[in-house]
Chains A and B, each alone.
Chain A
Amino acid sequence: DAGITQSPRYKITETGRQVTLMCHQTWSHSYMFWYRQDLGHGLRLIYYSAAADITDKGEVPDGYVVSRSKTENFPLTLESATRSQTSVYFCASSESLGGLAGSYNEQFFGPGTRLTVL
């Protein structure tokens, strides 16, 4: 099916374990993003990627690792999960739009992964 998918949708893990959240998009969008959403903080950018093999830190990157070997996939790994990483994680993709006035992106979001770290 076309679109952007995330897996798993729900995950419970323990402190110290490694967890990988998967994100797959079928639009061949250049840009992909990972956010976490917490009450009181809204959506905060963890990492983003402009193309395969190009990634950059967002607002809250500590404790997370990303890779982008293929355009369509952008996995997010928590190397050693902590309770503070309990959150809902959203993946998004976009293309670059606009022109002389400045480029911008309109993001398409996946359904989210609810992660609980015990």
Chain B
Amino acid sequence: TQLLEQSPQFLSIQEGENLTVYCNSSSVFSSLQWYRQEPGEGPVLLVTVVTGGEVKKLKRLTFQFGDARKDSSLHITAAQPGDTGLYLCAGAPGGFKTIFGAGTRLFVKA
């Protein structure tokens, strides 16, 4: 069974702190997506990483795809309460049969 393992499962930090969440697999993915989900809503796409070693920035969020395309990380600089949510990584190891990690639940305290 191909899995995407996310860590940590839960993170509670103070406003202004930096944090990194991880998405790991034993399988190679042609791409990985990161989504954020807020309570009572569907996930919203943040970014797709496609090339091994690729780094993408979205304001204070930095996404990296591992060189071997088996893992990815999301780094948030100077977290704000508005960053609170469930962060999900996703990928399709073959075709479009997408799998999701269980998510990292982030809580940023003001």
Contact = CB atoms under 8 A, between A and B. Distances in A.
Interface of A: 31, 33, 35, 40-45, 48, 50, 56, 58-59, 90, 92, 94, 96-98, 101-112
Contacts of A31: 96
A43 B43 contact: yes
The 9 closest A-B pairs by CB, nearest first: A109-B42, A102-B30, A42-B102, A104-B31, A43-B100, A42-B100, A109-B43, A106-B45, A90-B42
A108 B45 contact: yes
Given A31-B96, A98-B31, A111-B41, A104 B101 contact: no
* Interface SS majority for chain B: loop
24 contacts: A31-B96, A35-B100, A40-B102, A41-B102, A43-B43, A45-B97, A45-B99, A58-B97, A90-B42, A94-B96, A96-B96, A98-B31, A102-B30, A104-B31, A104-B33, A104-B50, A104-B92, A105-B96, A105-B98, A107-B98, A108-B45, A109-B35, A109-B44, A112-B42
Nearest to B45: A106
Nearest to B31: A104
A29 B51 CA distance: 25
* Interface SS majority for chain A: strand
